[in-house]
């Protein structure tokens, strides 16, 4: 009887276990059921740290702000092009002093051998003079064994149609030609100078309804070859307009094949495109109203309505979508933030079929990791990336030997400074100031530069001190129409600091003065528009 009970119990236990296993298999994603590309115990965060520790800065010492690099490798050198400026951190389409520049990097030593600025506002060439305005979003490809071709947009938003230009770089002389030319855009209506209006008109014929803009047309993704032809994604960022284009053999004419802008209720832009094993086109598209969207096309002309992928929880930033060997590399900015800063976490997932994805790299850094570009050269995948919370440098280096999983033995995580409490961010130029406005910091009083500040609504501020210390406050200096809270700050016990007023964000009424107070636990502070509170000397607020 006992033996029978034991047998019955054992059979029941086995049945329960089998049911549990079957249930777990049903719940598993295809990613888990497929043969894994990633070895057991692989740490994608450590892998990201190992890569970041060997990257080198390739922007010139004079550069204060830079962003959005692209590159090609030829022989023992990388040719990295980027937009830059020498006046302030960050970048903006409103700054006419942004120019385009090339850094030549020795791949064996990672030394920057030469930096060449190649186009800026009103520059005079042999055959043309550039108009006033910024030179923006450069791109590069190898034309032939002796020549590189560089593209860039010249624009002055609200004043004229932007124009895509190109000029050639002589590899032997390590110098640019002193002649520039207009790139062309081919649509169903004909061939035009590559300007936003022609791009917009073609999209409008396919049901695009957003208002047109005279700037923002860029070559966005890396150039990619399929079946001997060169393709690239085009983008108009402020409009939210995207298309796949074929670059003709003359490397002058970009032919629009198909637009992908749906759903138009989202703000889709800045895409990366590739082809899946069955020949289907797929694009991952930035969305400034939320998560990345994915769209597919059988022929590159008619595209599906974009939808989200369940494994991607992303933010509004440039993605990547490359293929090295038989493995796809999908890169996207994580929605998670560090110290209140966006673009601090970037993931690279890998797949053989474009359907089941596994994490190979997760870059986590308070210095930001954004707008990377990946290219293979002689069996190595090289990487360029924008870093700095104010977009102040381009970093470059080796990602990996193609397809390899570098040993993680003996490597350690990078020890970053402690993460700021929720609601706080670092007071630095280029940082977003308020939760309900898009204003970013322009200038700062030196005593508070780099300190944590409380990012709240511009309209009001209501906090309680939870730890004693020092609070600084920024508010507009008293002048007509300025939202100054000087009187309220003084009533609350703040005293004015003897430093020059600074331009916190654009507009004469937003020139601010600095105030200071030693605060005690339990104090309550309430202010109307506008006060920015800065934390120092161990103080904490909620």
Give yes or no for a contact between 99 and 121, defined as CB atoms under 8 angstroms apart: yes
Q: Which region, left, alpha or beta, applies to residue 538 given φ > 0 means left and ψ of -120 to 50 means alpha?
A: left
Task: Give this prediction's pTM.
Answer: 0.82
C-alpha torsion 405→409→410→416, nearest 10: 60
Contacts of 229 (CB under 8 A, 6+ apart): 246, 247
Per-residue pLDDT, 34: 59
Per-residue pLDDT, 18: 38
Per-residue pLDDT, 29: 42
Q: What is each CA distance from 56 to 106, 387, 406, 457, in whole angstroms?
A: 11, 11, 19, 38
Contacts of 155 (CB under 8 A, 6+ apart): 93, 133, 134, 136, 162, 163, 214, 215, 216
Task: Return the closest-CA partner of residue 440 out of 82, 157, 89, 64.
Answer: 89
Per-residue pLDDT, 279: 96
Per-residue pLDDT, 342: 80
CA distance 477 to 237: 35
How confident is the prediction along the chain (542 residues), in pLDDT tens digits per residue? 333 433 333 334 333 333 333 333 333 344 444 589 999 999 999 999 999 999 999 999 999 999 999 999 999 999 999 999 999 888 888 899 999 999 999 999 999 999 999 999 999 999 999 999 999 999 999 999 999 999 999 999 999 999 999 999 999 999 999 999 999 999 999 999 999 999 999 999 999 999 999 999 999 999 999 999 999 999 999 999 999 999 999 999 999 999 999 999 999 999 999 999 999 999 999 999 999 999 999 999 999 999 999 999 999 999 999 999 999 999 999 999 887 678 999 999 999 999 999 999 999 998 899 999 999 999 999 999 999 877 999 999 999 999 999 999 999 999 987 777 778 888 888 788 998 887 888 899 989 988 999 999 999 999 999 999 999 999 999 999 999 999 999 999 999 999 999 999 989 999 999 999 999 999 999 999 999 999 999 898 98
Per-residue pLDDT, 19: 38
CA distance 16 to 18: 5
Per-residue pLDDT, 214: 97
What are the start-end ranges of the E strands in 402-468? 424-426, 452-454, 460-467
CA distance 324 to 333: 20
Read off the DSSP letter of residue 368.
-
CA distance 320 to 346: 10
CA distance 363 to 348: 8
Assigned token pair, 500: 């020059």
């Amino acid at each position: 009887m006992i033996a029978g009970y034991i047998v019955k119990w054992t059979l029941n236990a086995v049945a329960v276990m089998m049911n549990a296993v079957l249930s777990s298999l049903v719940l598993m994603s295809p990613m888990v059921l497929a043969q894994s590309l990633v070895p057991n115990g692989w740490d994608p965060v450590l892998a990201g740290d190992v890569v970041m520790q060997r990257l080198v800065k390739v922007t010139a010492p004079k550069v204060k702000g830079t962003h959005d690099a692209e590159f090609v490798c030829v022989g023992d050198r990388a040719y990295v092009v980027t937009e830059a400026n020498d006046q302030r951190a960050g970048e903006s389409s409103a700054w006419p002093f942004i120019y385009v520049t090339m850094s030549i990097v020795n791949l064996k030593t990672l030394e920057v051998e030469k930096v060449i600025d190649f186009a800026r506002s009103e520059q005079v060439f042999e055959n043309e003079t550039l108009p006033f305005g910024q030179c923006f979003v450069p791109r590069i490809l190898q034309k032939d064994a002796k020549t590189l071709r560089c593209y860039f947009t010249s624009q002055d938003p609200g004043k004229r149609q932007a124009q895509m230009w190109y000029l050639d770089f002589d590899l032997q002389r390590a110098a640019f030609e002193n002649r520039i030319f207009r790139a062309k855009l081919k649509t169903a209506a004909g061939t035009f100078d590559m300007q936003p209006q022609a791009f917009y008109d073609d999209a409008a014929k396919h049901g695009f309804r957003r208002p047109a803009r005279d700037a923002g047309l860029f070559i966005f993704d890396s150039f990619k070859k399929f079946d001997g032809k060169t393709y690239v994604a085009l983008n108009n960022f402020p409009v939210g307009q995207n298309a796949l284009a074929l670059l003709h053999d003359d490397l002058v004419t970009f032919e629009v094949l198909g637009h992908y802008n749906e759903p138009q209720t989202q703000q889709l832009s800045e895409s990366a495109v590739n082809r899946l094993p069955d020949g289907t086109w797929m694009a991952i598209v930035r969305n400034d109203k939320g998560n990345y969207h994915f769209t597919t096309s059988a022929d590159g002309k008619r595209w599906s309505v974009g939808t989200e992928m369940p494994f991607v929880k992303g933010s509004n930033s440039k993605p990547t979508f490359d293929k090295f060997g038989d493995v796809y590399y999908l890169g996207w900015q994580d929605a998670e933030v560090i110290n209140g800063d966006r673009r601090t976490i970037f993931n690279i997932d890998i797949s053989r079929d474009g359907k089941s994805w596994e994490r190979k790299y997760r870059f986590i850094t308070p210095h930001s990791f954004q707008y990377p570009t990946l290219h293979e050269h002689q069996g190595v995948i090289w990487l360029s990336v924008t870093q700095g919370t104010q977009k102040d440098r381009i970093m470059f280096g080796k990602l990996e030997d193609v397809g390899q999983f570098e040993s993680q033995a003996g490597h350690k995580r990078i020890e970053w400074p402690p993460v700021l409490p929720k609601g706080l961010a670092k007071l630095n130029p280029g940082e977003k100031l308020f939760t309900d406005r898009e204003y970013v910091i322009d200038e700062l009083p030196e005593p508070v530069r780099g300190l944590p500040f409380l990012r709240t609504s511009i309209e009001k501020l209501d906090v309680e001190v939870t730890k004693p210390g020092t609070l600084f406050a920024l508010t507009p200096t008293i002048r007509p129409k300025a939202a100054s809270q000087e009187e309220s700050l003084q009533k609350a016990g703040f005293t004015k600091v003897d430093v020059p007023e600074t331009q916190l964000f654009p507009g004469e009424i937003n020139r601010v003065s600095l105030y200071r107070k030693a605060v005690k636990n339990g104090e309550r502070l309430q202010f109307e528009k506008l006060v920015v509170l800065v934390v120092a000397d161990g103080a904490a607020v909620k």
